[in-house]
Amino acid sequence: MATKSVVNEAKQIQLAVELIKLGARLQVLEAETTLSRERLLKLYKEVNGYSPPKGMLPYSTDWFVTWMPNIHASIFIDILHYLQAHGSARGIEAVVKAYKLYLEHCQVNDLESVLDLTRAWTLMRFCNSDMLRTVACRKCGGRFIAHSYDLHRHFVCGLCHVPSRAGKTKKARREELALQDLPAAA
C-alpha cells in the first residue's frame, strides 16, 4: 500500500489553487495534479464561488494559426521555450510562469490577452506532440506558431503581412466609440 504524503498533497492543492485562479479548466487540473475529480470540484467551487464550466477543451490547432491568436500564442510559446532553456522550470510549472509573464506583457503593453491558461496549456501540448511548432518569418526573422507539416520555406508572419480585417477587436471598437463621444475641441 502506498503511503500518502501530507506535504505532497499540500503541494498538489497549492498547484490546483494557482491553476484555478489563473482560469484553468477542470480537465487541465485533472491532467496536471494527482487530486481526485471530486476534490478538484470542491476546490474549484471554494476558490471561485461557482462550479467549473462544462464541455470539451478547445482542440483545434487551426485556432492558433489565425492572425491575432497566432501572435499571442507565439509570444507565449517563445516565453515558455526561453524559460525551459534558461531556467529550471519544467512541465506545468513552466507553463504557469510563462503564462504569468505573458499576462504581464499584455498588461504593460495595454493589450487584450487573447490566450487563457487552458489554451496556453493546450498549445504547449500541441507543440510537444509535434502538431505545431515555431517557424521563422522570412521577412522579420521572428518565430511564429505554424502547423508542423505545412511548407514553411516562404513563411511570412501575420505582423509582416497584416490581414485586411486586422485590429477589428471589441476593444478597438469600444475605443473608437469612446472617441466619438468626446466633445469637439474648441
125 contact partners, CB below 8 Å, separation of at least 6: none
- What is the predicted pLDDT for the residue at 1? 46
In terms of pLDDT, which residue wins out, 28 or 186?
28
Decide if 1 is inside a domain. no
Range of 122's domain?
A: 61-172
Residue 186: predicted pLDDT: 44
Asked, for residue 149, whether it belongs to a domain, the answer is yes
Out of 20-34, 36-50, 168-182, pick the least confident.
168-182
Query: Does the residue 140 lie in any domain?
Result: yes
Asked whether residue 76 falls in the same domain as residue 110, the answer is yes
Write down the residue that cell numbers 500518502 correspond to: 4
pLDDT at 25: 92
Residue 21 lies in a domain: yes
Note whether 35 and 65 are same-domain residues. no
* Residue range 169-186: mean pLDDT, rounded: 64
CA dist 145 and 115 (Å) reads 13
Residue 183 confidence (pLDDT): 61
Percent of all residues in the chain with a pLDDT value above 90, rounded to a whole number: 63
Q: Do residues 24 and 96 both lie within one domain?
A: no
Does residue 12 share a domain with residue 104? no
